[in-house]
Amino acid sequence: MRRPCPQSATRIERGCIVSTRSDLGIVVRRRGSRVVLVRIVKGPLPRHRADIHPSWFGTIQMGLRLGDVIRCVPGVVNVHCLYPMRATTPDVLLQRIDKAVTRELAIRQDEDASRQRPGGPAIPHHRYG
């Protein structure tokens, strides 16, 4: 009996937990043969401003361990490089991921703009308010 290819592009959609060559990730958005992906970091020691912790129920539902975080720094990956796992992400957590990704992209855009100003980088006002 012939088994389906694990890199089947039809099963990878928003909210799927996928495996890449090096780690796990969550699909945030899919456009054609490319996906926007955020990584699942296993018990990180260094923290990042874009890290969010799933609830204990979400952790169990996704098959993760306590202490694992979702690093909401988006990256674009070809869908054929991914292997879909059986678990999916709860809708409430996907909404939190969307907000964290939007916030991280806005902060990075602000940082890039402040580096390009003459006279040195400016401190963004929203960080201290």
User: What domains can you pick out in the chain, each with its CATH number?
Assistant: 16-117 (2.30.30.110)
Amino acid 129: pLDDT: 40
Residue 2 pLDDT grade (very low, low, confident, very high; cuts 50, 70, 90) = very low
**What pLDDT is attached to residue 52?**
93
52-73 residue pLDDT tens: 999 888 888 888 888 899 999 9
Distance between CA atoms of residues 129 and 111, nearest Å: 17
pLDDT given at position 58: 87
68-93 exposure pattern, b = at least 16 Cβ within 10 A, e = fewer: bbbbbbbeeeebeebebeebbbeeeb
pTM, two decimal places: 0.77
Tell me the per-residue pLDDT of 75-124, one tens digit each, with 9 for 90 and over: 999 999 899 988 889 999 999 999 999 999 999 888 887 766 565 555 55
Could you give phi then psi for residue 5, rounded to 5 degrees? -65, 130
Q: Please tell me which residue, 70 or 22, carries the higher pLDDT value.
A: 70
Q: Check: CB of residue 24 under 8 Å from CB of residue 18.
A: yes
Give the model's confidence band at 39: pLDDT under 50 very low, under 70 low, under 90 confident, else very high. Answer: very high
What integer is the mean pLDDT of 42-55?
85
